[in-house]
Amino acid sequence: MNMPLLSVLIFVPLAGAVLLIFLPRDRKDILYGVAGAASLAALGASFLLFTRFNGASADLQFVERVSWLGGGIQYHVGVDGISLMLILLTTLLLPIAIFSSWSSVKDRIKEYLFFMLLLETGILGVFCSINVFLFYVFWEAMLIPMYFLIGIWGGRRRVYATTKFVLVTMFGSLLMLVAIFVLAAQYQKASGTASFNLFDFYGMSLPPQLQLWLFLAFALAFAIKVPMVPLHTWLPDAHVEAPTAGSVILAAILLKMGAYGFLRFALPLFPDAVQKLLPALAALSIIGIIYGGLMALVQKDIKSLVAYSSVSHMGLIMLAIFALNVESVEGAVFQMLNHGLSTGMLFLMVGVLYERAHTRTIADFGGLSKVMPVFAAFFLVAILSSLGLPGLNGFIGEFLCFYGIFAAHSVWAILAVSTVILAAAYLLWMYQRVMHGPLVQDKIVTFPDMNAREIALVVPIVILMVWMGLFPRTFLKKMDATVTHYIQAIKGQEKMFIMKTEGAGNDPRKDSGALGRCFYTQPSTAEAVPQTRFGAPSAAPSAVSAR
């Protein structure tokens, strides 16, 4: 148990990327072999992580903590039940995305795989970071490979799309950076020591007015990433122009980073502000659900249809998060996995189609199911999973979400249910137009069905979809404790704030609130691991030992 599993997980892809630099550029097989091996190694590591993760504990596990730059900036990583799920999703989809590019990416393969692996390291780092500085480093660094992936291997308007993507995302995250500075300065003023540890920040009690501003800065960064309407405009552009694998990663994983950011940072750090803004946030989510669904209904391009469906689905996930009870948050996390799988698979299928037809316009197709029966079957599975058919994964997630949302606000739930109806409408209507009816083009007849490689890529996804639909407890039980604890902490925090008199106490530890108190009880093993492993005690005295 002494292996630094998380570090291995995060940096194996990076090592693969560095190795790629020194390989011959014309040996496609070697390049794919190395990239595939690195991403599969990460998958193996995350599988180990999953089996060893103790679902009965709400604490951070696999914690590693090494001093890095001083001044509270540490290499500090760990996972809980929520990040575990997203890590699993990431490591599963990356190899699939990599191998899906075998025939669609024709030149500059070496650079392509290099950026894919770099991207994986960035994403995994975001989900593992406990130190806010480290989180920000990964959060921003991840933009660079994505910029190149869309910009070099994308479609016709790729440069515009990718620049827009980077600039819009950075706009939010730079304001978040300022908020992080303010948080750190406040912490230092209150406690006298410098820290960027997220759990130290949890314990602070900030004046409500300041909270509001800081929350807005964080929320803006994350809402752009999710994306919540009206900050979604970068998404259709980026999706449509990105290469298939880029779209898969963008939709399946990157969007989750926004939701994860809300869960991990924006909500627990600023409970007062959340309380004030909850109705507005919920309203934006509901608008997103309906707007995304309606926009998806009128799209002519399959890819942008799936892109807008993501806006709608992410709206539901955000609404479930804002409902703030155990069922809804668990549902939201579970639904993140579902959406990752189903949308990822949809984009893969669109990619398969595009490789054959070189078009994605719905009107160019018709009667495909006769020519490509295997393709039609898998496409249908993806669609059914996406719209929440009982027996598949989507149903469980949506059910939990609605259950939780209804318990919080029945009106929200009633409005949100429209997502199901809309999803059924735009997905099935699209399926009908593409797959059934007369053959509109003669060349469709010549399309080969899915080949073995393409089938092999989607089969694991389908197996997981069924598994998650039938045995959701496999995953839910890993996050029960985390989510229950999370909700208790947040609710406790709210009560604290209602009772608290203005300006009571400046010491963040004295008045740490329930959330701080709960989160501070990290297991002693977690503290011991880095010390035995790396020999050196962590630089800043942790809050745990201070108590």
Partner 1 sequence: MSLILPLLPLLAVAGGAIVVLLLDAFWRRPSKNHLAFATLAFLAAAAAAAVRLWDAGAEAFDGALRLDRPALLFTLILILAASFTVLLAMRWMAQQNAAFGEFYGLLLLSLSGLLIMVSTRDLLVVFLGLEVFSVSAYALTGLKRNDERSEEAAAKYFLIGSFAAAFMVFGLAMLFGAAGSFDIGILLGSGNAAGLPAFTLVGLGLVITGLAFKIALVPFHMWQPDVYQGAPTPVSGYFVVAPKTAGFLVLLRLVLPIGRGSSGGDAIHYFLYAVAALTMLVGNLGALRQKNLKRMFAYSSIAHAGYVLIAVLALDARGLAFYLASYLFLGIGAFAALAAMSRPDREFGELDDFAGIGFRYPWIGSIFSIVLLAMAGFPPLSGFLAKFYVFSAAVRAGLTPLVFIGVLTSLISVAYYLRVIGTMYMREPEQPVDIDVENPAVLLVLFLCLYGILQLGVFPGNILQVIRQAMAGLF
For residue 119, what are the CA distances in angstroms to 32, 253, 295, 520?
16, 11, 30, 32
Shortest separation between residue 175's beta carbon and partner 1, angstroms: 7
Nearer to partner 1, 138 or 426 (CB): 138
Shortest separation between residue 167's beta carbon and partner 1, angstroms: 6
Q: What amino acid is encoded at 415 in this protein?
A: L
Which ranges constitute the DSSP H helices of 53-157? 81-100, 109-128, 132-141, 143-153
Whether a cis peptide bond, with omega within 30° of 0, leads into 523 is no
Shortest separation between residue 451's beta carbon and partner 1, angstroms: 30
Nearer to partner 1, 163 or 441 (CB): 163
Cα separation of 207 and 460, whole Å?
A: 49
C-alpha distance across the termini of the chain, in Å: 27
Shortest separation between residue 537's beta carbon and partner 1, angstroms: 17
Nearer to partner 1, 55 or 72 (CB): 72
Shortest separation between residue 352's beta carbon and partner 1, angstroms: 25
Residue 27 is classified by DSSP as -
Nearer to partner 1, 133 or 262 (CB): 133
Nearer to partner 1, 147 or 467 (CB): 147
Shortest separation between residue 185's beta carbon and partner 1, angstroms: 5
Cα separation of 541 and 192, whole Å?
A: 12
Q: Quote the tokens at residue 266.
A: 């924006």
Query: From the CA atom positions of the chain, what is the Rg in Å?
Result: 23
- 3-class SS at 232? coil
Nearer to partner 1, 182 or 283 (CB): 182
Shortest separation between residue 361's beta carbon and partner 1, angstroms: 25
Nearer to partner 1, 213 or 467 (CB): 213
Shortest separation between residue 147's beta carbon and partner 1, angstroms: 7
Q: Are 179 and 218 a contacting pair, CB within 8 Å?
A: yes
Nearer to partner 1, 108 or 533 (CB): 108
For residue 441, what are the CA distances in angstroms to 303, 328, 379, 438, 444?
20, 46, 20, 9, 6
Burial profile 511-538: b = 16 or more Cβ within 10 angstroms, e = fewer = bbbbbbbbbbebeeebbebbeebeeeeb
Cα separation of 22 and 483, whole Å?
A: 44
Handedness of CA 288, 289, 291, 296 (dihedral sign): positive
Whether a cis peptide bond, with omega within 30° of 0, leads into 230 is yes
Nearer to partner 1, 269 or 416 (CB): 269
Nearer to partner 1, 188 or 441 (CB): 188
Handedness of CA 232, 218, 254, 329 (dihedral sign): negative
Shortest separation between residue 75's beta carbon and partner 1, angstroms: 11
Q: Are 239 and 301 a contacting pair, CB within 8 Å?
A: no
Nearer to partner 1, 188 or 418 (CB): 188
Shortest separation between residue 7's beta carbon and partner 1, angstroms: 14
Give the interface with partner 1 as residue ranges (CB under 8 A): 69-70, 108, 133, 136-138, 140-141, 143-144, 147-148, 151-152, 158-159, 162-163, 166-167, 170-171, 174-175, 177-178, 181-182, 184-185, 188
Cα separation of 543 and 202, whole Å?
A: 11
Cα separation of 10 and 121, whole Å?
A: 5
Shortest separation between residue 131's beta carbon and partner 1, angstroms: 13
